[in-house]
Amino acid sequence: MIFKIYVDAATRGQNGPSSAGVLILTQQQQFQFKRSLPEMNNHLAEFKAMAFALECVANMAQADDTLMLNGDSKIVIDALSKGYAKHFMDELRHINTQLEPYANVIVNWIPEKQNHGAHQLAQQALPPL
């Protein structure tokens, strides 16, 4: 089975309240998840959002399923593709540990306009002003 996973984070200000939004599509089904995160910068929030997405799909996917991870954060997608993130190695190691059970993982950078569902979920999870 193929799981198309769309991930986004939102951060208010430079280092403010943050949130994660995850949209998972598979076999004509759609699953939506969102979570508030503590105050952090937007890059860290994007890594936390990817880890949250993998928590969400872990209850659905089997080891032989394909995970298609789609995100608009170049730093996260590049880190996953290259296996390196200068300032976020702990977060990358955590994500890679979450990915270990899966034989087929595809990582795609997508433009913001193609990540609308996850973006909206992240916006909804931001704490009110």
The phi, psi pair for 104, rounded to 5°, reads -125, 105
| pLDDT one digit per residue (tens) for the chain, 129 residues | 999 999 999 999 889 999 999 999 998 899 999 999 999 999 999 999 999 999 999 999 999 999 999 999 999 999 999 999 999 999 999 999 999 999 999 999 999 999 999 999 999 999 887
Q: In the chain, where are the structural domains located?
A: 2-125
**Nearest residue to 56 via CA among 21, 82, 18, 101:** 21
Cα end-to-end distance, the chain, whole Å:
41
DSSP letters spanning 62-81: -TTSEEEEEES-HHHHHHHH
Pairing of strands 66-71, 2-11: parallel
Q: Does domain 2-125 have CATH number 3.30.420.10?
A: yes
- Whether 92 and 47 have beta carbons less than 8 Å apart is answered as yes
The H-assigned helical ranges of 3-125 are: 42-58, 74-82, 89-99, 116-125
